Amino acid sequence: MEGPMDTAPVNPPPRLLMGPGPITADPRVLRAMSAQLVGQYDPAMTGYMVEVMGLYREVFATANEQTFLVDGTSRAGIEAALVSLLEPGDRVLVPVFGRFGHLLAEIGERCGAEVHTIETDWGTVFAPEQVEAAIVEVRPKVLAVVQGDTSTTMCQPLADLGEICRRHDVLLYCDATASLGGNPFETDAWGIDVATASLQKCLGGPSGSSPITISPRAVDVIDGRRHVEAGIAEERDVARGVRIASNYLDLAMIMDYWGPRRLNHHTEATTMLYGARECARLLVEEGMDAAVERHRLHGAAMLAGVRGLGLEVFGDVDHKMSNVVAVHIPDGVDGDAARAVMLEDFGIEIGTSFGPLHGKVWRIGTMGYNARKDAVLVTLAALEQVLRSGGVAVTAGGGVGAAQEVYA
Amino acid sequence: MEGPMDTAPVNPPPRLLMGPGPITADPRVLRAMSAQLVGQYDPAMTGYMVEVMGLYREVFATANEQTFLVDGTSRAGIEAALVSLLEPGDRVLVPVFGRFGHLLAEIGERCGAEVHTIETDWGTVFAPEQVEAAIVEVRPKVLAVVQGDTSTTMCQPLADLGEICRRHDVLLYCDATASLGGNPFETDAWGIDVATASLQKCLGGPSGSSPITISPRAVDVIDGRRHVEAGIAEERDVARGVRIASNYLDLAMIMDYWGPRRLNHHTEATTMLYGARECARLLVEEGMDAAVERHRLHGAAMLAGVRGLGLEVFGDVDHKMSNVVAVHIPDGVDGDAARAVMLEDFGIEIGTSFGPLHGKVWRIGTMGYNARKDAVLVTLAALEQVLRSGGVAVTAGGGVGAAQEVYA
């Protein structure tokens, strides 16, 4: 029997990741991550941290000074935001339109908050008036909302929510994990107080670092929960709120690590920072509007392509994220078996689904490095073959042809 | 003025990191981290997860089934352990012999635990009888102790503590962040219930992933705090304790993600996993005893070398970790200015210090990839020059010569 002693160097099989994320990383991001380390307080390192803050201000479309990385996956960023904003007993309102809304509610409960939810059918989004009515009823401290929920592919319109939240003196937190970089996102113009994201969706990097941005009024709330040793306390350190229940995800401490005080907290994950920096650098070089347009184009091509294959698209297509589409698995096709053939014979991963959609839809992504014409066309070509061998009547070339028309 | 648009690709200056960590990563680890991604449930990925579990069982010297990675820096691993073990009101005892003992106490407080500490002077460790006496008095649920505290360089003997803890029905948590791989560590033989570590010290990788191992009796405690949806609950899921306050660091959920149930939690940080896997793979290939001996040898050479330079070593040298030494900054020398010359002119980083030792000692590491003869000798050669130019009377060749004698 083989044991740990016989483990070979890592050598992953070639995959084109066309699911809802993680997706294939941009090779330039992986190259950046192979750079050698520097010390935690090396001037080169603190310089990189300052650059990362500037780059993510562009990505989030914000002037927020407090824009940096949480060291963990996107879920770490979500929890850092909620545990740092919500005190036990605070009310939080979560509009739930898919699995990740349930996650926000669950994390809010763990924070000891009084969680209120409103729900809408999977495959739909909320109208601003529905959210405002719930705000009037619940009077929450925080409205916590997902922008793009990959479980349903829906993209909740946010442009009106910031103004509503300000009118009712509510803080607006947005989970932009799956959407940022591939769909319009305007932190300042939309009045979003805290937003968090990930690298492994439209940013073209690996999971493991969560960019975050925090408005001055949210900073004020979080700063008030800082409890520090008397010796280093300043005016801003006088605690007005309940201490944040996490040390690792205490945004007040993390702000002091990234900010001019440079107070030691965790040891920054240098390689992930190199990767996050390169993700943002490439996006900013391309231009955020151009990146969003690229996702729109290739998402439209994939949408046309799956329809050209005769597949029925799930949900309210007008409110779909650009970067992922869910299609009903045709009658008589074993969805997981077909996905396995796509993976094993063609080297292409497409996604399964959760909860009420489990076994009913596939989710196909076109995001980050894989928001590309060749990735779209080869996926449609392979899917045509797999559907045909599964006994589905498919027009030869119908998927690729429809996508090509979008590109024409 | 330059803006984010002008940010250049990452290109860190060449550094030899001889501080208390992070240290220069093994180039083989960085190469492993440049491998392309696979999907979260790709058979290749779940295969890597299984391999990682096996490799870290070797590294931790344990048969614990529950041995895996927490996605975050070493501090995430520490907090995951404490928040998953400690319920509000539980008593935890922390023997504090440096900065990281204070961190365990602080995190325990945030968990709502009743935290009791015993303290010893910086530069010393505890005798087992001192710890047992405190256990008898406090009757804690958990004893939380650091093995190697880089703030003082001390290495707390642990061999007797497991037996003491079992006798008094106490769970033993150990923070092995700075020590694992470079000093003897025997999870099972010493009766340690939960241990956490990091990559950026003796394991030769970057910060950002925290290996953890959990004994069956600790698993039982953690399992009892699992609250899951009724639909997927099994016998083991019936909650007996207070729900874990964190979702991201909920070890019950993370065990279900790494284990055969493969329940979706966070999206594993693939690139960090590749790195963590390679760190352990290289250690296991070398042999854990050989790795510990390598750290002993190069640590002894550095110790002899700094003494050969006439520097006074801080603390109880018999209880020093192999992989780091603290030396008093000679009178008249500006410690930070000397470190800056080491970094800027010689490309070598040595460490500053915290708390009561700030400005009084430098900390010099020999760990992971830098537990090597050339790294030791070039550091001593450079330090001799910097001390001389700072007006310190140094015997020419005294440091390198003394280290060479250790190697002879």
Which residues on A lie below 8 Å from B75 (Cβ)? 247-248, 265-267
Same fold? B27-284, B288-407: no
Predicted pLDDT at A229: 60
The pLDDT of A186-200, averaged and rounded, is: 98
- In this prediction, residue A210 carries a pLDDT of 98
Nearest residue of A to residue B54, measured between CA atoms: A4
Domain A288-407 has CATH 3.90.1150.10: yes
CB contact under 8 A, A208 and B269: yes
- The nearest CA of chain A is from the CA of B207 a distance in Å of 5
- Closest approach of A113 to chain B, Cα-based (Å): 11
Q: Mean pLDDT, to the nearest integer, of A207-221?
A: 98
Confidence of residue A241 (pLDDT cuts 50, 70, 90): confident
Closest by CA to B80, choosing from A238, A119, A239, A76, is A76
What was the pLDDT predicted at A237?
A: 66
CATH architecture assigned to A27-284? 3-Layer(aba) Sandwich (3.40)
For residue range B82-120, list pLDDT tens digits in order.
999 999 999 999 999 999 999 999 999 999 999 999 999
**Is the separation of the CB atoms in A180 and A59 below 8 Å?**
yes
**Which residues in chain B touch residue A27, judged by CB atoms under 8 angstroms apart?**
36
Residue B3 pLDDT: 83
CA distance A245 to chain B (A): 5
A:B CB pairs within 8 Å? 282
Checking phi first, is residue B197 left (phi over 0); if not, alpha (psi -120 to 50) or beta? beta
- Residue A263's φ and ψ, nearest 5 degrees, are -75, 135
Do B245 and A51 count as a contact with CB atoms less than 8 A apart?
Answer: no
pLDDT tens-digit series, residues A369-398: 999 999 999 999 999 999 999 999 999 999
SS3 letters for chain B?
CCCHHHCCCCCCCCCEECCCCCCCCCHHHHHHHCCCCCCCCCHHHHHHHHHHHHHHHHHHCCCCCEEEEECCCHHHHHHHHHHHHCCCCCEEEEEECCHHHHHHHHHHHHCCCEEEEEECCCCCCCCHHHHHHHHHHHCCCEEEEECEECCCCEECCCCCHHHHHHHCCCEEEEECCCCECCECCCCCCCCCCEEECCCCCCCCCCCCCEEEEECHHHHHHHHCCCCCCHHHCCHHHCCCCCCCCCCCCCHHHHHHHHCCCCCCCCCCCHHHHHHHHHHHHHHHHHCHHHHHHHHHHHHHHHHHHHHHCCCCECCCHHHECCCEEEEECCCCCCHHHHHHHHHHHHCEECECCCHHHCCCEEEEECCHHHCCHHHHHHHHHHHHHHHHHCCCCCCCCHHHHHHHHHHC
The two structure tokens encoding residue A316: 């309210």
Residues B279, B205 contacting (CB under 8 angstroms) = yes
* Mutation target among A272, A283, A343, A364 for the B interface, most CBs of B within 10 A: A272
Q: How far apart (Å, rounded) are the C-alpha atoms in residues B347 and B23?
A: 13
Q: For A241-335, where are the E strands, in sequence order?
A: 324-328
Asked if B10's CB is within 8 angstroms of A32's CB, the reply is: yes
Instruction: Give me the residues paired with residue B91 across strands.
Output: B114
Share of chain A above pLDDT 90, in %: 94
- Write out chain A residues lying below 8 Å of B281, CB-based: 4, 7, 9
Residue with tokens 């990234």: A258
Compute the mean pLDDT over every residue in chain A, rounded to the nearest whole number: 96
The pLDDT, as a whole number, for residue B228 is: 67
Q: What is the mean pLDDT of residues A131-144?
A: 98
Annotated binding residue at A225?
no
DSSP A123: T
Per-residue pLDDT of chain B (408 residues; tens, 9 = 90+): 568 889 999 999 999 999 999 999 999 999 999 999 999 999 999 999 999 999 999 999 999 999 999 999 999 999 999 999 999 999 999 999 999 999 999 999 999 999 999 999 999 999 999 999 999 999 999 999 999 999 999 999 999 999 999 999 999 999 999 999 999 999 999 999 999 999 999 999 999 999 999 999 999 999 999 886 655 566 666 677 899 999 999 999 999 999 999 999 999 999 999 999 999 999 999 999 999 999 999 999 999 999 999 999 999 999 999 999 999 999 999 999 999 999 999 999 999 998 899 999 999 999 999 999 999 999 999 999 999 999 999 999 999 999 999 999
Domain boundaries, chain B: 27-284, 288-407
pLDDT of residue A231: 58
Query: Are B382 and B346 in contact, with CB atoms under 8 Å apart?
Result: yes
Strand order across the A114-119 sheet: A66-70, A210-214, A194-196, A171-175, A142-146, A91-96, A114-119
CA B234 to each of CA A263, A355, B73, B238: distance values in angstroms, whole numbers, following the listed order: 45, 18, 32, 7
Give how far A253 is from chain B: nearest CA, Å. 13
